[in-house]
Amino acid sequence: MPAHVFQHIGYNFFYKYRRNKTAKIVKSVKLAIPSQGISVNRQSKTIWIPSLKLSLKYGFPGNFEKVNQIEIGEEYAYVSVSVSEPKLIQAKKWIGVDRNTVGHIVVVSDPETGAVIKLGKSAFHVHQKYKNIRRRLQKKGKYKKARQIKDKERRITRDINHKISRKIVDVAKESGKGIKLEDLTGIKSSKHNKKSFRRIKNSWPFYQLQTQIEYKAKLLGVEVAYVDPAYTSQICSRCGLIGDRNKKKFKCSHCGHVDQADANAGFNIAERPRIDRSAKDRDLVEGNTDIPKAVLARIRS
């Protein structure tokens, strides 16, 4: 399967590049180097492009089969590599990822160990912060600057999603478990979840996060499955009856179980049977334009 990795070029590149008088000066246009024009030294983790006299030290994992192409942009080199797809390990146990949480982007729960990991605490503020800045700039008529701020926000949220997805997949891999997520494609039609989901959906790119989880999981042979999202935060993870969720707290009047609401939801997600999503996957891909190029890792040198 092809994987795309960013490699930060750094100032050194521009220095070398501009000294090479035979090369064209590239500003925003990306320059594509085909595989024939690239040689890789795996010992020193260096990519050498003879035509540009450019040596790039790479920081991404070296387990790729070959470099397909490198696109050189202003700030980054986009390195496309082929990675052999590891065999999918059929999961017997699962961790549950709750994306509909209070105060965090996701909460990861492991019903076997009881472990709960909360990720992306301050990230929701990113959107509000940049929205406010944009609004101020637009009022002053600084539209170009406002667009740049929008791009900046996009980069920041994508980076946060990369970190969160990396952590989730690593936790699953290390514990030998699969990852269960709520199927959010159908949630819009679910009356019960409508309101809270709209809030979450508008404030964080969850489909992007989902794509990144799937992608990173695939590269490590970790299984990802989806469950019906209905009532995952209302049902008691101990007795299965409806309890009371009040913001961060969950309380079950039937069995007396008390838990953090997000953790309770995560346990429910982990233990719920998987659903067949093959038809919905297609809809998701067609209906979503916000998924970036599949990106394995963005590593600054």
Q: Does 249 bind Zn ion (CB under 5 A)?
A: no
Instruction: Pull the structure tokens for residue 122.
Output: 């301050």
Q: Does 242 bind Zn ion (CB under 5 A)?
A: no
In angstroms, the CA 76 to CA 30 distance is 10
Q: How far apart are CA 27 and CA 20, in angstroms?
A: 15
Say if residue 194 is exposed, middle or buried (CB neighbours under 10 Å; 0-12, 13-18, 19+). exposed
Does residue 179 bind Zn ion (CB under 5 A)? no
Is 54 among the residues that bind Zn ion (CB under 5 A)?
no
| Sheet of 224-227, strands arranged across | 115-119, 106-110, 94-98, 178-182, 224-227
Residue 203 Cα distances to 27, 127, 134, 151, angstroms: 33, 6, 15, 16
Of 290, 238, 97, the closest CA to residue 180 belongs to 97
Q: Is 258 in the site for Zn ion (CB under 5 A)?
A: no
* Interaction between residue 263 and Zn ion (CB under 5 A): no
Smallest gap from Cβ 248 to Zn ion, in A, equals: 18
299 counts as binding Zn ion under rule CB under 5 A? no
Task: Decide: is 285 part of the binding site for Zn ion (CB under 5 A).
Answer: no
Q: Does 251 contact Zn ion by CB under 5 A?
A: no
Using the rule CB under 5 A, give the single segment among 34-42, 160-168, 203-211, 229-237 that binds Zn ion: 229-237
| Residue 265 binds to Zn ion (criterion: CB under 5 A) | no
Question: Quick one: which segment of 128-136, 138-146, 182-190, 232-240 binds Zn ion (CB under 5 A)?
Answer: 232-240
Structure tokens that stand for 194 in this block: 């409508």
Question: With binding defined as CB under 5 A, does residue 255 bind Zn ion?
Answer: yes
Determine, following the binding rule CB under 5 A, whether residue 235 of this chain makes contact with Zn ion. Answer: no
Edge-to-edge strands of the sheet including 76-82? Answer: 31-34, 66-72, 76-82, 2-8, 297-299
Please tell me the count of residues contacting Zn ion according to CB under 5 A. 7
Q: Where does 56-203 have alpha helices with state H?
A: 124-139, 143-175, 194-203
Place of tokens 């944009």: 134
| Pair of tokens at residue 134 | 């944009």
User: Which residue type sits at 274?
Assistant: R
Are the C-beta atoms of 107 and 101 separated by less than 8 Å?
Answer: yes
Question: Which CB atom, from 145 or from 238, has the smaller least distance to Zn ion?
Answer: 238
Query: By CB under 5 A, is residue 257 in contact with Zn ion?
Result: yes
Instruction: Point out which span in 26-34, 44-52, 221-229, 251-259 binds Zn ion (CB under 5 A).
Output: 251-259
**261 binding Zn ion? (CB under 5 A):** no
Nearest CB to Zn ion, comparing residues 98 and 214:
98
Query: Is 267 within 8 Å of 237 (Cβ atoms)?
Result: yes
Confirm or reject binding of residue 252 to Zn ion (CB under 5 A): yes
- Rounded to a whole number of angstroms, the minimum distance from the CB of residue 96 to Zn ion is 17
Stretch touching Zn ion by CB under 5 A, among 12-20, 38-46, 228-236, 260-268 = 228-236
Binding site for Zn ion (CB under 5 A): 236, 238-239, 252, 254-255, 257
